[in-house]
Structure 1
Amino acid sequence: MNNNALLNIGIFAVFVVATLVVVIRASRNTKTAADYLAAGRAFTGPQNGVAIAGDYLSAASFLGIAGAIALNGYDGFLYSIGFLVAWLVALLLVAELLRNTGKYTMGDVLSFRMRQRPVRAAAATSTMAVSFFYLLAQMAGAGGLVALLLGITGKLGQAVVIAIVGALMIAYVLIGGMKGTTWVQIIKAVLLIIGAGVMTLWVLGKFGLNLSSLLGAAVDNAPKAGERLLGPGLQYGATGTSKLDFLSLALALVLGTAGLPHILMRFYTVPTAKEARRSVVWAIWLIGLFYLFTLVLGYGAAALVGPEKINAAPGKANSAAPLLAEALGGPLLLGLIAAVAFATILAVVAGLTITASASFAHDIYANIIKKGAAEDKDAEVKVARRTAIVIGIVSILGGIAANGQNIAFLVALAFAVAASANLPTILYSLFWKRFNTSGALWSIYGGLTVTITLIVLSPAVSGKPSSMFPNADFDLFPLANPGIVSIPVAFALGYLGTVLSKEHDRDKYAEMEVRALTGVGAEKAVSH
């Protein structure tokens, strides 16, 4: 093992030990379900906003988007635009109303005026599905990143790395719960934005703080793409199908955020709806600033590293940002930036794991199996911890299968599932009086089934050299992202399921409307 690899391992170890200390300290006050699942609702709006940025700025944002811009230019930057614009949907339609209506999970909101057991089961199923796709992306990013740093080229070595990341993730969640996870996300967000900011200024400094000079150098160093790197169409403009695929991707990105369970759950860690709204405003500013950095980092990687070297590295597009760090500041900066990327992966997978385990413990165990009357007041936390272990093991196996895929693309699939299965049900629940249990089940299960079926039958999974299973060929659906089909279908199914059922609880909707808009009763947020 060379000196660079030892340096990188040392930087990783310092970060892991420091964050574990923070998690252990945070866990001292974790005693109740509210402490473990919602951090005792003790975080302020600005603190939660930084944590949301930490949760949202995943490995896809840092590694995947920088790589996509380096290889595909303008078309890669569309990921940044989609991820950012999506926050307007979350801010204007969802954040405050969800905080007022729920307690710990998305299932609380969706089941508020419905039949509890079937809707909670559906919400938990959807939460697990979205979390699984998102976890795939993070684990794949971990494998490629550490392979690049330590020079591990074999699949077995990368699989071991993914397993280590999974074990650390499980440790964070078991020890610290939501409180510990939130502090890890805050630390990681600060490190990531500072690290990306320093690299951005460094790149611009190489070109006399002149963005035009940077773009010109990127074009010169990418002879195959040439000036197409600066305009739309390099990745999505070749055929009518690829243009449709871009539209599908844009829909999934813009509408998906407001349906991501691990983001929605963050709104319950603040004491009031006002703080939930403040946290989203803080998150938008921080996330927007970071995505401006990705533009410079992506084109900087194209100019200073080059597409050929990026494609030849372990992790391919995901290696663009670390390779840029090495080109700028040598092994030390590479180690520091990679540690930040590693922190990014750990923080996001911990957030996803606690969300999925909380949904199972709160929605399935406490409210379906025990019908809201668990004999042990700590049982919900115990079940959440056991579920986190199972989710960790499943995500490790999935991450090994997905290793080598572009993680921005894998995250876009998670957004498609969230936009199709969750968003229609959330919006109908909050804004449509007539909506009922049947409509909720049709939109969740229907949206989930259509989306996953189309993903399985898409070129993302089989039929192309870049597919997850390149040697198989069952790509019957032509689009890599199914959002343009699955999102309208899910809305339509929610409508049909509602109008074909006579169930309608006017009183419960009136109660939900008052609580959602005013916050009356939200502080207690008791189960119904």
Structure 2
Amino acid sequence: MQQQANPILNITIFGLFVVLTLGIVIYVSSGGRAKKGKAYYTGGAEFSGRQNGFAIAGDYLSAASFLGIAGAVAIYGYDGLLFSIGYLVAWLVALLLVAEPMRNTGKYTMADVLSFRTRQGPVRMAASISTLVISFFYLLAQMVGAGSLVAVLLGVSDLAVQIGIIALVGILMIIYVLIGGMKGTTWVQMIKAVLLMLGAGIMTLWVLGLYGMNFSRLLGTAAQTHPDGHRILEPMLQYGTNPLGFISLAIAVVLGCAGLPHVLMRFYTVPTAKEARRSVSWAIALIGLFYLFTMVLGYGAAILVGKENILAAPGKANAAAPLLALELGGPILMGVISGVAFATILAVVAGLAIAASASFAHDIYNSVIHKGKADPAKEIRVARIVVIILGILAIGGGVAARSINVAFLVSLAFAIAASANLPSILFSLYWKGFKTQGALWSIYGGLISSIVFIAFSKTVSGAPTAMFPDVNFAWFPLTNPALVSVPIGFFLAWLGSVLSKEDNTAVSAEMEVRSMTGVGTGTALQH
């Protein structure tokens, strides 16, 4: 562990990845159409199911997956794997309940679905606010991952350097989205998914090769060398003192995926509902394989790097994967793997920025303020302005949250998505009695409750790893609010609907036909 990374080599590799991905964005958007109208939001809906599956994997396998989960496994063993299992199972919810009906019913954003059978103005406003908040929380995780990654590469823990790196990621995100729109972002995500799978796969085979390709021997060695011994092979090392916290985390991770705006938006980049379903199948296969890799990488890091060394490094648990690469192949492998992780972060933040900007420009600026009659060029201009503002806010938030594990930060975004978005999405698609009032109560109630619980938990204050460790205003006992906030979201969706006197029977029947069959896809119902 005394071997140090080569900062010049690492920065050179980073620069090559940035130039490569930026060149791809410029090339695929060179015709100009990628930055206009529908193509800016959906890439022209011209990607195949397989291509979109790789892009979804590239979008979903974020810094939390590569850095956060590998670090969580290295530190907590079995409990770290719960992130992997939950994130994978979450895709079954998206595949079986959401993907095809969303593609049939929507056009650009989640709000297209929610407002189909409700009053468009207030519901679009609520859905857009929810999208912006969730995207911001997800962006925090990527910014923190970027800061941790580069801090390890440069071998520094200086605050000014980490702030500079987080700012750099925000600026690059803005450039990628402004130049390439959804089309350029999708191609970057596809290529990044391939690079990430290859890099993680090579490291996995390398680690297993050190133990005779015997996974059981790897686990046994990890248990012998880890400070917590065989407890890393058993559940509840991390959550043993707070089982309700574990249940809350599981609810957030499993249900949150189907409510993530940037994931839902990917269903509109394919031409048909069949391709949307096919893309999710590809995504599940790729994501499942990758999470098997993180299990080996996590236990490998626990052996070859050591828990104490990981926690002592800049970035703490988020540094496990890069440090493992340093132990396996020296500075070159560390630079390459970290470069792939950096490309991962850039691709994910670009996808998040597209979803957030599209929601504001399409749902608030066009549909609410201009009643669906806004000039398309001005709408795209507004979307670009939102990208810039979101990038600035994400930089500030990333600096404040830099000490928190990125996998945990993502779980907070999942909790908000499961509380604010998922109840309304499922009821819109499958319950004829769902009304405008139910949608509004559910979105705002789930959003506000989850954020309030997070704000007054030990995630924000009252703990050494909190955003503000020197103050304590925490009274909510769980670090993840999903156990309470998700039932609140579903309850308010039901209560608001049954108390409403609105009659939307006709449009509900039309939506059922459209969501199940695809009849009418490509047109928006105006009412």
Q: TM-score, normalised by structure 1?
A: 0.98
Gaps of 5+ in 1: none
Contact 1:443–1:491 (CA under 8 A) maintained in structure 2: yes
Query: Which ranges of 4 or more aligned residues in structure 1 deviate by more than 4 Å?
Result: 525-528
User: Which residue type is aligned with residue 247 of structure 2?
Assistant: L
| Aligned counterpart in structure 2 of residue 10 of structure 1, from 9, 12, 20 | 12
1:233 aligns to what? Answer: 236
1:195-251 deviations in Å (ceiling 9; x for gaps): 00000000000111111221122122212x1110111111011x2xx1110000000
| Aligned counterpart in structure 2 of residue 155 of structure 1, from 143, 147, 159 | 159
1:78-127 deviations in Å (ceiling 9; x for gaps): 00000000011000000000000000000000000111110000000000
Q: 1:518–1:163: structure 2 CA closer, same or farther, 3 Å change rule? A: same
Distance 1:226 1:523 in 2: 57
User: Which residue type is aligned with residue 200 of structure 1?
Assistant: T
1:487 aligns to what? Answer: 486
2:254 aligns to what? Answer: 254
How far off is 1:526 after superposition? 6.3
2:461 aligns to what? Answer: 462
2:207 aligns to what? Answer: 203
Worse overlay, 424-433 or 209-218:
209-218
User: Which residue type is aligned with residue 40 of structure 1?
Assistant: G
Contact 2:5–2:326 (CA under 8 A) maintained in structure 1: no
Distance 2:409 2:268 in 1: 27
How far off is 1:523 after superposition? 3.1
Distance 2:92 2:18 in 1: 34
Distance 2:400 2:463 in 1: 16
2:303 aligns to what? Answer: 303
Q: 1:208–1:347: structure 2 CA closer, same or farther, 3 Å change rule? A: same
2:472 aligns to what? Answer: 473
- 5 Å-filtered alignment, 1:364-443, equals 364-374=364-374, 376-443=375-442
Contact 2:462–2:471 (CA under 8 A) maintained in structure 1: yes
Contact 1:124–1:364 (CA under 8 A) maintained in structure 2: yes
How far off is 1:152 after superposition? 2.7
Distance 1:184 1:31 in 2: 16
3-state SS of paired residue (2:238): coil
1:12-59 deviations in Å (ceiling 9; x for gaps): 111111111110112123253110001000100000000000000010
2:195 aligns to what? Answer: 191
3-state SS of paired residue (2:34): coil
Contact 1:122–1:444 (CA under 8 A) maintained in structure 2: yes
Q: 1:448–1:91: structure 2 CA closer, same or farther, 3 Å change rule? A: same
3-state SS of paired residue (1:30): helix
Contact 1:149–1:335 (CA under 8 A) maintained in structure 2: yes
| RMSD between aligned residues | 1.0
User: Which residue type is aligned with residue 226 of structure 1?
Assistant: G
3-state SS of paired residue (2:376): coil
How far off is 1:510 after superposition? 1.1
1:390-436 deviations in Å (ceiling 9; x for gaps): 10111011101111210000000000000000000000111111111
1:275 aligns to what? Answer: 275
Gaps of 5+ in 2: none
Distance 2:517 2:153 in 1: 51
- 5 Å-filtered alignment, 1:62-77, equals 62-77=66-81
Distance 2:447 2:141 in 1: 19
3-state SS of paired residue (1:466): coil
How far off is 1:307 after superposition? 0.1
1:359-391 deviations in Å (ceiling 9; x for gaps): 0000000101111111x3312111111110010
Contact 1:372–1:527 (CA under 8 A) maintained in structure 2: no
How far off is 1:161 after superposition? 0.7
Contact 2:255–2:418 (CA under 8 A) maintained in structure 1: yes
How far off is 1:525 after superposition? 4.6
1:492-522 deviations in Å (ceiling 9; x for gaps): 0111111111012111111111110110111
Asked if residue 114 in structure 1 is aligned to residue 108 in structure 2, the reply is no
Distance 1:150 1:410 in 2: 24
User: Which residue type is aligned with residue 491 of structure 1?
Assistant: F
Contact 1:69–1:77 (CA under 8 A) maintained in structure 2: yes
| Aligned counterpart in structure 2 of residue 21 of structure 1, from 23, 26, 38 | 23
1:140 aligns to what? Answer: 144
Worse overlay, 498-507 or 160-169:
498-507
Q: 1:350–1:526: structure 2 CA closer, same or farther, 3 Å change rule? A: farther
- 5 Å-filtered alignment, 1:442-461, equals 442-461=441-460
1:229-274 deviations in Å (ceiling 9; x for gaps): 111111011x2xx111000000000000000000000000000000
1:321 aligns to what? Answer: 321
Contact 1:433–1:506 (CA under 8 A) maintained in structure 2: yes
Q: 1:3–1:412: structure 2 CA closer, same or farther, 3 Å change rule? A: closer
User: Which residue type is aligned with residue 152 of structure 1?
Assistant: V
Count of residue pairs brought into register by the alignment? 522
User: Which residue type is aligned with residue 341 of structure 1?
Assistant: A
Contact 1:434–1:504 (CA under 8 A) maintained in structure 2: no
Contact 1:435–1:504 (CA under 8 A) maintained in structure 2: no
Contact 2:144–2:401 (CA under 8 A) maintained in structure 1: yes
**Percent of aligned positions with the same letter in both sequences?**
67
User: Which residue type is aligned with residue 209 of structure 1?
Assistant: M
Q: 1:170–1:60: structure 2 CA closer, same or farther, 3 Å change rule? A: same
Asked if residue 522 in structure 1 is aligned to residue 526 in structure 2, the reply is no
